[in-house]
Every structure is written in C-alpha cells, then in structure tokens.
Structure 1
Amino acid sequence: MKWDWKSFAGGILVGSVLFSGLAIAAPAFPDAGDINKEPFTYYFDGIPKSPKMDVQGILYKNSVYVPIRFVAENLGKTVIYDGKTKSIFIGKLPVAKMYSKLEAVDLVKKKLAGNLTPQHVVEYDHDDEKGHYVIQVYQTVVNNFQSGDSYTSTYGWFVVNPNTGEIRSLLQ
C-alpha cells in the first residue's frame, strides 16, 4: 500500500482529534512547576534533622507540607494511620471510642437513610467551637441544562459529637 500526502494529513487530523480529549480529561492537580521540592532542614529543640530524600516536604503556594511521620517521630511520638476511618493518631491512642469525621458522615447518612435521594451529598464541613463535627446535607439542582446554571439546595446541617456519636440538627 502506498502512502500519500492526503493519507498522512488525515492520520494527523484523526490523531489530533482522538488525543485532544486527554487534556480536557486530565485532573486538576497542582502544576508541577508550582511545587518546590528542594530539601528542607527541620530543627527539633535546636538540633537539625533531615528526612530521607524520598520523604521530603514540599513548598506549595507559600505553605510547607511536611511528612507527619518524620515530625512526630522526631518529637518522640508514634504515628498510627487507620485507613478504615481515615484517622491519624499521633502519640497515645484515645482511651474512649472517638468517632472520626468519616464515621460521623456515615452516622448522619444512616439517620437520614429513608429521607435522602441518591442526588443528596452528605459531607463534613468543619469543626464547631466545641470540637463537634458539622455535617452538611445538600444536593445540587440544575435549573438550566443548556447553560449549566445550578444552585445548592441544603437539606440540613447536623452536628455530631465525636465522643458519643450523638447527632443533632443545627436548625433546632
């Protein structure tokens, strides 16, 4: 089979169309150029220490992100990660059952199970002044499919006590 200029141009065009979607589908991660990976020196009680090169901290948008295990162990604390509850324990473990933010969200979902649709989102928002977890339940409603205009319809705000798992509505 003989390749000519039209076949070559057609191949370039088809390839361009097929691979142009990759840029659109790429996740919105920080630009690698924005991240500074130069090694830092950490000081613990005036003594300089450096982690292994594969666990260095990074500087991103004027904030330093540090490997927590390195810091905790240099402060004489142990670090335990519980992947099930997405909890990080530094030092002593709690003596009583403590609910994690993920478990608090699950408690609210179970409490409201019969009242929510699959479009409802239940998510942790922040801790209140007492250290309780504030959970928002909402859904995004599209009011114009052509323009994509939408609004957030809040079902409710709930507070979960991390010590007891007690749930109360913020609107009471």
Structure 2
Amino acid sequence: MKWDMKSLLGGIVIGSVLFSGIAMAAPIFPDVSEAKQTPFTYYFEGVPKSPASDVQGIMYKNSVYVPIRFVAENLNKPVIYDARTRSIYIGKLPAGKMYSKLEAIELVKGKFAGSITPAHVVEYSHDDDKGHYVIHVYQTHINNFQSGDSYTSTYGWFVVNPNSGEIRSLLQ
C-alpha cells in the first residue's frame, strides 16, 4: 500500500479530531496532583479519633477535605446519600420535598426544552442570598479552532426555589 499526500492529510485530520476531545476535556477535571493524603487526627469533644486508613482526609489548596460519613457519625448524626439526586443528608431528612441542584438543572432543561439545543450548557452556578439555586444556561462558540479563541453566549440566568421547584429569570 502506497501512502500519498491525500492519505497523510486524511490521517492527520482524523487523528486531530479524535484526540481534540482529550484536550477539550482536560480543563474540566481539577489538578489534584498537589493534594496530599494526610493522616489527620480528628477530635470530637476532646477525644481523638481516626477514620479507616482508606478514608483519610486530604489537603488541597490550603483546605482540608474530610470524609463526611466519619465526621457525621462521630457527631452521632446519620448520613444518607441519594445517588439519584446526588444529595447528602446529615441528621434529619427535610420535612417536605426539596429539590436538589441536579433536579433544579433538570427542571430548567425541561422548561426550556423547545428553545435550547444540546449544545447549550445548563449548570448550577451558586446559591443566592435566599438559598435558591442560580442556574446558568449558555453556549460556547469557537471562533478559531487553531488558536482556541472562543466566546460564551448566555441564554439566561435562572433561579430555582429548592422548596417549590419554581423557576424564574434572574433578570426579572
């Protein structure tokens, strides 16, 4: 089989398309290489306690991240994890229906399903001063694939009440 210029260019194009996803996904994951798994000593009411060796805390960017189940159980609080909504409950469960951040994102997607495309990103941004979830809907447009120049166009900012699931525009 003889390689010609057309085959070479085709291979380069296919290779760059296949491997460009890796470069695009890389910034999504934080660099935790500086995170240090440290055998911390935890004190509860003045009594030192240690979690199992496989669930030690880590130090990352000058913050200590601890195993929440170990901490809650040593404070005599039950811990429940709901994988469907990615919610962690410590102590009592809420008395009424509460929407999680993941459910709030799905509510916004459902409300605007006819006008947003799969290219739109719908993500939780932060909680406002009333404890409502602020959801950002936007799209990233790439101007130049070689240089990576891009811009973001915002479809909207929405506030979701975690108690009622009510959605309203942040700009109202």
Q: Structure 1 length normalisation: TM-score?
A: 0.81
Residue 151 (structure 2) aligns with: 151
Residue 129 (structure 1) aligns with: 129
How far does the alpha carbon of each residue in 1:13-71 deviate from its partner, in whole angstroms, 9 at most, with x for none? xxxxxxxx8xx77955422xx23223111011111111111111111221111000000
SS in 1 for 2:69: helix
Distance 2:145 2:50 in 1: 53
Distance 1:142 1:171 in 2: 26
SS in 2 for 1:94: coil
Q: Which amino acid aligns with 2:32?
A: P
Q: Which ranges of structure 2 fall in alignment gaps of 5 or more residues?
A: 1-18
1:162 matches 2:162: yes
Residue 90 (structure 2) aligns with: 90
Distance 2:64 2:81 in 1: 21
SS in 2 for 1:104: helix
Q: Which amino acid aligns with 1:87?
A: S
Q: Which amino acid aligns with 1:131?
A: G
How far does the alpha carbon of each residue in 1:91-122 deviate from its partner, in whole angstroms, 9 at most, with x for none? 00001000000000000000000001111110
How far does the alpha carbon of each residue in 1:113-161 deviate from its partner, in whole angstroms, 9 at most, with x for none? 0001111110000000000000000000112233221001000000000
Residue 10 (structure 2) aligns with: none
Please tell me the root mean square deviation across aligned C-alpha atoms, in Å: 1.7
* Residue correspondences, number: 148
- Flag the structure with larger Rg: 1
Q: Which amino acid aligns with 2:69?
A: R
Query: Which ranges of 4 or more aligned residues in structure 1 deviate by more than 6 Å?
Result: none
Q: Which amino acid aligns with 1:30?
A: V
Paired residue for 1:30, among 13, 29, 32? 32
1:77 matches 2:91: no
Taking every aligned residue pair, what percent have the same amino acid on both sides? 75
1:112 matches 2:112: yes
Distance 2:128 2:66 in 1: 26
Residue 52 (structure 1) aligns with: 52
Q: Which ranges of structure 1 fall in alignment gaps of 5 or more residues?
A: 1-20
Q: Structure 2 length normalisation: TM-score?
A: 0.81
Structure 1 residues 123-132 or 35-44, which shifts more?
35-44
SS in 2 for 1:85: coil
Q: Which amino acid aligns with 1:104?
A: A
SS in 2 for 1:103: helix
SS in 2 for 1:136: strand
